[in-house]
Structure 1
């Protein structure tokens, strides 16, 4: 069986905001087997992407932040993270900035762990994951509308929080899993 491909035929702009761009696209589907091409409608959310950083202190603690998430309607425990500010901004620069802004530390070593898509069925947001080590004290620089607490946990505690559904944020779970080989668990 072949994998189909989809080609854009037309696009209707629904919303263009600071963070998201939403479209309704008509696509032509090629089934990859020489069959008749079909069309379909795809609603899509376009995003510059983001970075998520798992900071680990010299004594092996993981720094997480707790903040209220409007769309989820609850406070969440997460890795420091933030959006890429503009198309073309380096994920490395975004990661270093967000690490200090949210967790009040800078990293002597920032290790890329790859990336994940948040929900590829309708969104192109790619989150670049990093492990931060050799941390140095910095200063938290929150936006006027951001409020968060900085918390520290052992890798074992993070593992338990994930298992107990106390950490339900996908980027945090992905960063933790991709960092396992560097952690003392």
Structure 2
């Protein structure tokens, strides 16, 4: 059987939060008579930035992630704050908020779906260069440490399982050609 397009024929609203919206949808699939049920999480999108210092270090943040139950080492990232916010604006903001630096140059690395089996979240990826220090201004409930690593060190931390955050692994892979010789 070929890939069938699915369309929603009935939606049950389960939860509406500040960050996400959850539904249980009954869908019709082309070429199939029996409808199927899809649980879906709807998210407004986010941006992640891999900041590279003038001396070739990568700025990362270590923060406790409640759902994971532990602190994770990641590149700075955050959700788009409002409909219509440009992903690059979000990347600039999050880099300053979490990383304490401004980027003079942002390079678009594309985007990824974080968990397309049940969630529509798109995460826009950027490489930040020409960094200058600025004041870090975290949210009231946000606590993190800023750390710096070389690209080979990040590769090793991924290989050994110290870095397990999917967006961090994805952006590191997407930025590979920019990190050669750094």
Pair in the same fold by TM > 0.5: yes
In the TM superposition, what is the alpha-carbon distance from 1:37 to its structure 2 partner? 2.8
Q: Name the counterpart of 1:98.
A: 94
For 1:63-113, what per-residue CA distance to the aligned partner results, in whole angstroms no more than 9, with x for missing partners?
000000000000000000000012221101101000000000000100010
- Equivalent residue in structure 2 for 1:161, among 142, 149, 157: 157
In the alignment, which residue of structure 1 is the partner of 2:37? 41
Aligned counterparts, 1:33-182, within 5 A:
36-182=32-178
Q: 2: distance between equivalents of 1:109 and 1:63?
A: 15
Alpha-carbon distance between aligned partners in 2 of 1:86 and 1:10, rounded to the nearest angstrom: 27
Distance 1:38 1:115 in 2: 34
Q: Secondary structure at the match of 2:59?
A: strand
Deviation at 1:2?
2.2
Gap runs ≥5 in structure 1: none
Query: Which residue in 2 is equivalent to 1:19?
Result: 19
What displacement does 1:3 show?
A: 1.3
Q: Which residue in the other structure is 1:3 paired with?
A: 3
Which stretches in structure 2 are left out of the alignment for 5+ residues? Answer: none
Q: Using the TM superposition, give the Cα deviation of residue 139 of structure 1 relative to its aligned residue in structure 2, in angstroms.
A: 1.1
**Cα RMSD between the aligned structures?**
0.9
Cα distance in structure 2, aligned partners of 1:184 and 1:63: 16
Displaced runs of 4 or more, over 3 A: none
